[in-house]
Copies of this chain bind each other. A is one copy, B any other.
Amino acid sequence: MSDSPMPPEPLADRVLRGDPRAIARAISLVESESHAGTSLIRALFSRTGRAIVVGITGPPGAGKSTLVDRLIAEIRRQGPTVGVVAVDPTSPFTGGAVLGDRLRMQAHAEDAGVFIRSMATRGHLGGLSRATADATVVLDAAGRDVVIVETVGVGQDEVEIVRLADVSVVTLVPGTGDEVQALKAGIMEIADVFVVNKADREGADRLVAAIEANLSLQTFGPHEWRPPIVQTVATTGQGIDALWATISGCRAHAGATGAGRERARVRGEQRLRELVARRCVDWVRGRLAPGEWDETIARIADRQFDPYSAAESVLDKALSGRSTIA
C-alpha cells in the first residue's frame, strides 16, 4: 500500500540486498520452472560463487535434521550467515514440506541470519536437481555465507545433488545393524567428510572401523583430500564444532589444490547438459507434425516401435525439417 510513484524495485535487486521475503519469492519462482525464474537466475548468476555450498546426505533416521540445526547454531555462533535448502520428497497431499519448514524455522525464528526452505520432489527426472541448483544460486547471490543443501533420500538424484556441493557430508549412524547397507548405498564415493552421528551408541567404533576399512581400499595422492570421520551426538551438540572446522578445512583445501575448480567444472557440465537436453526435447517436439509426438508414444506403448528407433526417427524428422505421420 505504498503511495510512492516510484516503480517497484526489481526482485533480483531485492535478492541481492538479502531481503528474506525476496529470497522466498525467488525460490518459489525457480521451483515453479517459470520464465520469470529463469530470468532471475540469469540476472543473479554472475553475483554468485562466494558462498560455501555444503551438501549433507545419509539414510533416513541418521538424525540429519538435528545435525543441520546444530550446525546452523555453531556457524551462527562464529558469525557467518546461513541459507538451507532441505530437499524433502514430500507427498503433495500431506503438505509435509510446509509443516517441516515451520517447525524448523521456529528454532531460528529470531535470527535473520538463518533462512530455511524445503523443496519437495516433483516433476520429471532431473527437475529436482535443477531446482536445487537454482535455489543455491539465489541464496549465494543473496549473500548467505554458507548454503547447506540437505537431502532426505539416498537415491541417485539425491546423491548427485550432494556430490556437486563444494563439500559433501555423508551422515551415518551406528547400531542400526546395517552398517554394510549404509556402506553399500553408493555414498562412499561422494563423501568429503563422514559423520558418525549418535556416536554415543553401541557400535559407533565398529562403524568408524568399517568406514576406515573402506577408505583404506582407496588410493589418495599426496595432495588429495582424504575424507575424515567426525563423530557427533547431534542431540547434545557434541562434535559439532569439529564438524564445522572439518568442513571449513575441506573447502580451504579444495581452494588451494584446484579440486574446487574441478568440481565447479563438473557442476557446470551437468547443468549445461540438463538444460540443453530439456530444451532440445521441446524443440524436437515442436518441429514434428501435430499429433506425431503422441502417435510415436502410442506406438511405443503398443510395442510396434522400440524406443531407440522411435527416438532416432523423431530426431531425424526434426533435424531434416520433413515431418509427416508415418
CB distance from A305 to the nearest CB of B (A): 8
B155 and A157 form a contact (CB under 8 A): yes
A323 proximal to B (CB < 8 A): no
Name the segment of A37-45, A107-115, A229-237 touching the other chain: A37-45
**Contacting residues, chain B, for A185 (C-beta < 8 A):** 60, 89, 91, 152-153
A59 proximal to B (CB < 8 A): yes
A49 and B303 form a contact (CB under 8 A): yes
Give residues of chain A (247-294) contacting chain B, Cβ–Cβ below 8 Å.
261, 264-265, 267-281, 283-284
**Contacting residues, chain B, for A274 (C-beta < 8 A):** 125
Bound complex: CA A153 to CA B61 (Å)? 14
Most buried by B among A157, A158, A183, A274: A157
A243 proximal to B (CB < 8 A): no
Bound complex: CA A312 to CA B270 (Å)? 15
A189 and B280 form a contact (CB under 8 A): no
Q: CB-CB contacts of A98-130 with B at 8 A, as 1s and 0s?
A: 000000000000000000000011001110110
Given A121-B156, A276-B281, A186–B268 Cβ distance below 8 Å? no
Q: CB-CB contacts of A73-103 with B at 8 A, as 1s and 0s?
A: 0000000000000001111111010000000
Report how many residues on chain A are interfacial, defined by Cβ distance under 8 Å: 86
Bound complex: CA A156 to CA B129 (Å)? 10
Most buried by B among A156, A271, A273: A156
A297 and B281 form a contact (CB under 8 A): no
**Contacting residues, chain B, for A180 (C-beta < 8 A):** 96
Given A156-B128, A268-B301, A186–B121 Cβ distance below 8 Å? yes
**Contacting residues, chain B, for A38 (C-beta < 8 A):** 308
| Closest B residue by C-beta to A275 | B311
Given A125-B126, A272-B310, A310-B272, A156–B89 Cβ distance below 8 Å? yes
Q: CB-CB contacts of A286-320 with B at 8 A, as 1s and 0s?
A: 00000000001110111111111111101100010
| Closest B residue by C-beta to A48 | B303
B272 and A297 form a contact (CB under 8 A): yes
CB distance from A53 to the nearest CB of B (A): 13
A214 proximal to B (CB < 8 A): yes
A2 proximal to B (CB < 8 A): no
A184 proximal to B (CB < 8 A): yes
A271 and B283 form a contact (CB under 8 A): no
A46 proximal to B (CB < 8 A): yes
With contacts A153-B156, A155-B155 known, what are 17 further pairs, Cβ within 8 A? A42-B309, A45-B305, A45-B307, A59-B60, A60-B60, A90-B184, A91-B183, A94-B183, A96-B180, A96-B184, A125-B274, A153-B153, A153-B158, A156-B156, A272-B310, A275-B310, A277-B280
Q: Could you pull out 28 A-B pairs where Cβ atoms are within 8 angstroms?
A: A41-B306, A60-B178, A60-B181, A61-B176, A89-B156, A89-B184, A90-B186, A93-B189, A94-B214, A96-B180, A121-B156, A121-B159, A125-B270, A126-B126, A128-B156, A153-B153, A155-B159, A156-B157, A265-B301, A267-B301, A268-B301, A272-B310, A273-B281, A275-B310, A277-B278, A277-B280, A279-B311, A280-B280
